[in-house]
Structure 1
């Protein structure tokens, strides 16, 4: 591999742009990009400051000047592109969902492990310093035994009947939308913080807008999930893409015997710590744990946000390419975990009863 990590980006929409920024900020170079047409590839090459455009995804996958491929395309295309990237000997960053079924996700994980490539999925909310602080407090016993895990992930970008997007099309987005798109982020984050695993759940999904763009909507606008963990905690989660006024409110409360820990992604520079007599708010960069300090790159009072998390995720992925083992790096195993949780939610909603989550 060259002195700099040379990345290829397939998919040049919003997420492709986020990936390209993170590649550059992590010391890598955007070597090649591929959009859906030669014109979009050329335009993105200029936007991303790429060294070369690429006419098609195949050109990125076969290029000698690409070490790692970032896949930022519609969900249904992920599995095929990941397989091709691994077959070409490339390391891979694949947007979630890793695949539209748990079976496909398991196949991709097996292929990546057999090939010995670095293969990661951007569960980037793990990289907020306040999230790492919460994780540290659970791990060192400050929170005490965990009793209740609850929260929500709410958005409003599909709240109007006139709103539409490719994700609504099951052929491109897969059989789950709201949960597979954002619910899995919440589950990944809470499992990461607590060390617990959701083992059993009940769920109800809802379609708030039955028709979009002249076609029947078959994937959920919202989901409500109750669950139990292997650590003896109970939990609830509400997921919605139709909650007016909520732009990207990922919120959780981890309630332990000694303290409760609350994180709000729309106000991520602090962690609320609740106690019986005193409530405290830990500010990023002010006496936090070493785990939190590692990802605090600006002085307190200078907000860090989503792009900073993405930069940290890509930097840790690239450190893994060099042989490091960054703590908490989300891999294809986490992508498979998300696919199994999604399958369980759909199954529980369809059957109207509690189901076990595959392990």
Structure 2
């Protein structure tokens, strides 16, 4: 495809707006938008700058002027809409989770492979310049042998019992909420940045509120507010993760520390303008900018001088730009695809099973979604 792909966005909420901004930044147009009703689509079309309001998601998918279908709807609808878009030969950008079951996620991945269409999932934290810098430095062996991988992802948007959302309902959001919504982001980022893959987990889930208020009525909550897990990786590291959507004062704090025998690399999404590099004899807060980052990956996504932080929307813009480049026949490095969405579904299922059984659970593999990760000889020896 020589010309810029044209977008159709299904979903009129917050994520639809994020996708729309990224589409326009990529230099593309939004041909149509669809919502839960034609009326909601009409309101969103004006707000998002779409050409028309489609009568239904199916009508949007069928349009000749839609090349890429963006699915920004509640989780339980993703699989059906993605199937229809793939069957129509359209490229797909599907919000995570790709599906609320491993079976659906696996089927979608196989359908994409057979159809030969581009299909991506917005694991957008991969696109922070500091993350790419850490990835490249780890890949060339600067960390030494990674042995401890730990971090957290904390939010507070569900801190009060009066706060609720469709994600709280397992019929719409899936059996796991906190981990399935944000914990999978951390796990994807860890595996992408380090080249390690989680092979076993031990998890506990918990709730701050057993009931939440909906329309003035208290209802029981079936999904978790938080999760704590231990894990082991295929390269011999151990790790831990704390996930919460009920941590007052933490708006969107994704934090990691990847500790090696020679150096550690740490990143905080609420302060994305620095990468912390720790060594036994020094500690550096590396400013993010094209003049200060040293690796190809870091510089590629650093578009502003140091002191001008790039945030979530900037990373989302970069993800969509790379997705559209792939539709045009390019091969952007590190683009998260439906295979990565399947990986997240496998991790989520393992977490749910581990928490229910109170035991370690093995995480099955799906081949190697991170085969493009280039290890230095020193790091490669860890795999042997």
Q: TM-score, normalised by structure 2?
A: 0.92
The corresponding residue for 2:320 is: 314
1:235 counterpart (234, 239, 262): 239
2:157 match: 157
Question: Which consecutive residues of structure 1, in runs of 5 or more, have no partner in the other structure?
Answer: none
**Equivalent residues of 1:5, 1:27 under 8 A apart:** no
Does the CA-based 8 Å contact 2:5-2:328 persist in structure 1?
no
CA distance in 1 between partners of 2:171 and 2:132 (Å) = 37
What residue in structure 2 maps to residue 192 of structure 1? 192
Instruction: Say which of 276, 279, 297 aligns to 1:275.
Output: 279
Answer whether contact 2:70 2:94 (CA < 8 A) is retained: yes
Q: Which residue number corresponds to residue 215 of structure 1?
A: 219
**1:149-207 C-alpha deviation (Å, 9 max, x unpaired):** 00000001111111100000111111110000000000000000000000001000002
Matched, 1:255 2:259: yes
Query: Distance between the aligned counterparts of 1:122 and 1:355, measured in 2?
Result: 26
Change (3 A) 1:287 1:81: closer
| Aligned alpha-carbon RMSD (Å) | 0.8
SS of structure 2 residue aligned to 1:281 = strand
Partner Cα distance (1:323, 1:35) in 2: 30
Supply the distance in 2 between the matched residues of 1:224 and 1:282 (Cα, whole angstroms).
30
Structure 1 Cα separation of the partners of residues 278 and 303 of structure 2: 26
Confirm or deny: 8 A CA contact 2:4 2:328 kept in the other structure: no
Residue 288 of structure 1: CA displacement? 2.4
Aligned to 2:379: none
Q: How far apart are 1:301 and its partner, in Å?
A: 1.5
Asked if residue 301 in structure 1 is aligned to residue 307 in structure 2, the reply is yes
CA offsets, 1:21-73, max 9 Å, x none?
00000011101000111111111111111112212111111101000100000
Say which of 332, 347, 352 aligns to 1:346. 352
Query: Which residue of structure 2 lines up, in the alignment, with residue 35 of structure 1?
Result: 35
Give 3-state SS (helix, strand or coil) of 1:27's partner: coil
SS in 1 for 2:149: strand
How many Å separate the matches in 2 of 1:287 and 1:12? 37
Q: Which residue of 2 aligns with 1:79?
A: 79
Is this contact kept in 2: 1:282–1:288, CA < 8 A? Answer: no
Give the structure-1-normalised TM-score.
0.99
